[in-house]
Structure 1
Amino acid sequence: MTTPPPSSIMPPPSTAVVWRSVGLVLRVLTVICLVISLIIITTNTATLPSNFGQIKIRFQDVKAYRYVLATIVIGLVYGFLQTAFAIYHVTSGNRINGGDALYFFDFYGDKLISYLLATGTGAGFGVTVDLKDANSVSALDKFFNKASAASSILLLAFIFMAISSILSSLSLPKRA
């Protein structure tokens, strides 16, 4: 049995590379969840028959759903920015030049956005439960179920962002 030449044996990746890759995967998963939630919430409509014609209800008609949309959009902007930084960091092995300020930006940005996503999730679930309980029209059930689905996926995005926030806080003491 022959052993391969030393040049063909790849050393295992360093711990830093693994953690950077995990951070990138978390950011990508967050963005994917936010995009799916955005699509669900923006396409959420219902049509009710009435004596005066049909009434179309859209997500914009409920203020809490507009807040959910705002948190998704803000999360997406931050998520795309941080995903681009993470891709650069993983592929090059270097961070964008900015010194320790970028570590603090990651730390505080991740915390802020994860809290924002959490409040969007809570607002979406809260108004859905309240309106569904007060609703006696079965035609609106699909509308509320879609809103609940969007909030559920937003909850997943929050979880991924919260884990990413923990990872960014772990890298902070090394730099401070």
Structure 2
Amino acid sequence: MEASFPSKASGVVPLVLRVLTFIFLLASLIILTTNTATLVVNLVEFKIHFNDIYSYRKRFLGGDRNLLFDFYGDKVISYLLATGVAAGFAATKDLKPFFVALGAGDVVKFFDKGYASASLLLIGFVCTAISSVLSSYALPKQF
């Protein structure tokens, strides 16, 4: 049975909105980082860049104060990702034989995609773990 138009549209619309969001965020970032101006004060010329404005800086809380936040934030996110990886692999391993035994449709493909998803999450965990290690190197410089 073919899905009606509204249900097809409801699946496409969020994807289109996310792509548009990404495009607008990227365009905003490009405009902000390439923004410069020349200011003349008392016959002295100053060139202003986006990072000269305190509010435009990436580290809006101020330099070293973010190091501790980065360190603990990386730890929390990496633990959440590791938990998700373990749960994804465990659930797939436990449930796949049960559903394969039932012979329900293309269930093998479904669970293989579960393994693929958990594998991508594992790669994300590795990236966050590396980031966590790098942020720990910056801590001694702060104190």
What TM-score, normalized by structure 1, do the two folds share? 0.45
Divergent runs of 4+, >6 A: none
SS of corresponding position for 1:145: helix
Instruction: From 62, 69, 74, give the equivalent of 1:105.
Output: 69
User: Which structure has the larger Rg?
Assistant: 2
Q: Which residue does 2:126 correspond to in 1?
A: 159
Equivalent-residue separation in structure 2 for 1:97 and 1:128 (angstroms): 42
Equivalent-residue separation in structure 2 for 1:133 and 1:101 (angstroms): 50
Correspondence 1:4-153 to 2 at 5 A:
96-99=59-62, 100-135=64-99, 136=101, 137=103, 139-153=106-120
* Post-superposition offset of 1:169: 0.5
Equivalent-residue separation in structure 2 for 1:109 and 1:166 (angstroms): 12
String of CA shifts for 1:89-148, please: whole Å, max 9, x gaps. xxx6x8624243311110000000011000001000000000012221262101000011
Unmatched runs of 5 consecutive residues or more in structure 1: 1-83
Which amino acid counterpart does residue 111 of structure 2 have in structure 1? F
Which amino acid counterpart does residue 121 of structure 2 have in structure 1? L
SS of corresponding position for 1:164: helix
SS of corresponding position for 2:94: helix
Q: How many residues of Structure 1 are paired with residues of Structure 2 in the alignment?
A: 87
Which amino acid counterpart does residue 168 of structure 1 have in structure 2? S
**Identity across matched positions, percent:** 50
Superposition CA RMSD, Å = 2.2
Which amino acid counterpart does residue 72 of structure 2 have in structure 1? Y
Unmatched runs of 5 consecutive residues or more in structure 2: 1-28, 34-50, 52-56
Which amino acid counterpart does residue 97 of structure 2 have in structure 1? D
Equivalent-residue separation in structure 2 for 1:122 and 1:97 (angstroms): 35
